[in-house]
Amino acid sequence: MKRKLLSCIVALIMSFLVVMEVSAASTTRLGGQDRFDVSINVSKNGWKTSSTVVLANWDAYGDALAAGPLAYKHNAPILLTKSNVLNSRTKSEIQRLKTKSVIIVGGSISVSENIVKELKNMGISVKRIAGNSRMEVANNIALEMGNSSRVVIADGFNFPDALSIAPYAARNGYPILLTNKKHNLDKSTQNIINQRKITETIISGGPLSVSDQVFKSVPNPRRFGGNSRYAVSANIAKAYFSSSSTAFVTRGTVFADALTGSVLAAKRNAPILLIKPNDLPIAIKSYIANQGVGNFTLLGGPISVSEKTNNTLRHPIVGQTIVLDPGHGGKDPGAVGNSLAEKEIVLDIAKRVNSKLNQSLANVVMTRETDVFLELQERVELAEKSGADIFVSIHVNSFSSPSANGTETYYDETHAPKESRELAEEIQKELLKALGTTDRGVKKSGFYVIKNSKMPSVLVEIAFISNGNDAKKLADTTYRQKAADAIYRGIMNYYE
């Protein structure tokens, strides 16, 4: 009996650890010394074997822009080669995959006949999809893929928009057609659209990439634009990958890593997010935070996606849902004193905490963002519905005697007592350091919002609005920012 009980306990502990591991942010880098290594590591990560490989030129993106959906159709990785000689590492990967067929995208200038001969000498059948231009190559790939109800149109002379839409297009079997240098469609491209019973046209990129003339000429167009390539990739991700907790991240100014990673992203039902080497653009940060994305595959080495970015993405707070609850509001002003109202102070501080947490890629839910009244039960229900990982209720204190002063943080032992206490201790510690207030301690209490919230929950009393010295700090925007920074650091400490 004891042995069975012990086994059950161990199983429960292991189950808990597995859940924690899944929910924590993580990064996997598929890098290497160059783009050949990246493509091979993508291949190794996604395919034990593959009867088919798609082969493209390592340095000329034009012919390869539309290759993602074709590769996905054949469940094939995209590998790279120089134009005249089959890269030795690529050759070894083809052998590892036990490949029987290679599809070359592009003409003999992109991938020479010498490479065709070498592949055939390896006992591999070779098919080339070519054309007189990159637009024709894309058209011929579309014909190879067969009929579909939708098509994608992207800029044929710039790669980011085509590669951002590639995972979605690939997964759904939609061919990618390309515009010419005037950002219009060649006649042969227009013919493909006219001949098929297209129900919707997805346009990746703004009017400078795919003209308004094209937009008006195609069936049921839906455009994904933005003020940058980063915004376009974020907008596509929001529209088509809203339920995905995984994303592929790569440098937005290099085509090769995004190209070879696009098929694996499609297999994982994940978007490709384009970033700057050392920075996450605002649109990308917003997508990650708001969608609660917590698992990232980095395409490329540290030159493409820096270690700084890697460290940001794998912080435990990334993808966590944090509910901030500014107390009172509307008809309920909370504590009033020294010409101050609690509801206004705590809303201001909560907004400042929100801004900091968003920068750290947490998914923040505010119980209120304006001066409105919410019942205590409504606050708890909002936290439950949002799937909150922690709940932080922000208040200021008051007492009949003006001598009462200082900072205190409360937790309840009904749900997650250990975690709630740890969160309270971290926030209390940081507030004391930042504000220089009297330490009134971390305390247990049965306040409704923390007693009835099932996730780790705390209620923070920043300072006393009824005390002259504390009130001066609460009225000062500098101290409000210090309080917000302290609550933020306490939350970060808890996750670390």
Please give the Cα distance from 123 to 143 (Å, whole number): 27
Q: Is 2 helix (H, G, I), strand (E, B) or coil?
A: helix
Whole-angstrom Cα distance, residue 235 to residue 227? 11
Sort 3 into a burial class: Cβ within 10 Å, 0-12 / 13-18 / 19+. Answer: exposed
DSSP character at residue 63 = G
User: 461 catalytic, yes or no?
Assistant: yes
Torsion sign over Cα 355, 356, 362, 366: negative
Whats the size of the chain, residue-wise? 496
- Element counts in the chain: helices (H) and strands (E): 19, 20
Asked whether the beta carbons of 72 and 102 are under 8 A apart, the reply is no
- Burial profile 58-67: b = 16 or more Cβ within 10 angstroms, e = fewer: beebbbbbbb
Answer yes or no: are the C-beta atoms of 165 and 202 closer than 8 Å. Answer: yes
Interacting residues of 357 by C-beta distance below 8 A, sequence separation 6+: 317, 322, 324, 364, 488, 491
Which of 93, 430, 461, 496 is labelled catalytic?
Answer: 461
Give Cβ neighbours of residue 117 (< 8 Å, ≥ 6 apart).
none
- Tell me the C-alpha distance between 265 and 285, whole Å: 19
For residues 100 and 465, give the distance between their C-alpha atoms in angstroms, rounded to a whole number.
76
Residue 88: is it exposed, middle or buried by C-beta count within 10 angstroms (0-12/13-18/19+)?
exposed
Question: Do 367 and 382 form a contact (C-beta atoms < 8 A)?
Answer: yes
Q: Could you give the C-alpha distances from 347 to 34, 114, 354, 422, 459, in angstroms and in order?
A: 49, 69, 10, 24, 14
Euclidean distance between CA atoms 427 and 408, whole angstroms: 10
User: 461 pairs with which residues across the strands?
Assistant: 395, 408
* Cα–Cα distance measured from residue 463 to residue 477, given in angstroms and rounded to the nearest whole number: 14
Task: Kindly list the catalytic residues.
Answer: 461
